[in-house]
């Protein structure tokens, strides 16, 4: 992410420098800046969504580890019957029932 932002900033600086030296027109400069702003906005939105998802997973995982009730579907998940797989971000049953709940389908039971 830092590399992309650095490249965008470099493109903006080069665009402003080229415009100042009158190597490109004002319209071209505005088009380049609009594209850079659109790319930056898309990257910001992507990072915001990833951070939001990671915070939700972390909150559910910590509740699970601390023994708080976590509900997946209609089942109550406890650390006696399930374990949390970080690679797939899912709860997997400890017995051989083959039950797997993705963390997206789970929520913390609030009283």
At CA 92, angle to CA 88 and CA 93, rounded to 5? Answer: 175
Arithmetic mean of pLDDT over the chain:
83
Q: Using alpha carbons, select from 56, 51, 8 the residue that is nearest to residue 33.
A: 8
Which structure tokens are listed for 53? 């998802």
Record the tokens describing residue 11, joined without a space.
């493109």
pLDDT of residue 86: 86
How far apart CA 20 and CA 43 sit, in angstroms, is 28
Whole-number pLDDT of residue 1 = 62
Q: Which pair of structure tokens corresponds to residue 62? A: 């910590």
39-76 pLDDT, tens per residue? 888 888 888 898 999 999 999 999 999 888 899 988 88
Contact 61/51 with Cβ under 8 angstroms? no
What gap in Å lies between CA 88 and CA 60, rounded to an integer? 14
86 DSSP assignment: T
The predicted structure's pLDDT at residue 111: 64
Residue 57: closest CA among 106, 111, 100: 106
């Amino acid at each position: 992410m830092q590399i992309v932002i650095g490249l965008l900033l470099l493109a903006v600086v080069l665009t402003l420098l080229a415009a100042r030296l009158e190597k490109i027109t004002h319209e071209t400069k505005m088009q380049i800046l609009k594209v850079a702003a659109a790319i930056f906005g898309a990257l910001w939105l992507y990072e915001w969504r990833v951070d939001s998802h990671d915070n939700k997973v972390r909150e559910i995982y910590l509740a699970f580890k601390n023994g708080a009730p976590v509900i997946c579907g209609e089942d109550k998940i406890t650390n006696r019957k399930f374990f949390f797989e970080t690679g797939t971000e899912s709860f997997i049953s400890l017995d051989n029932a083959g039950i797997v709940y993705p963390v997206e389908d789970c929520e913390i039971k609030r009283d």
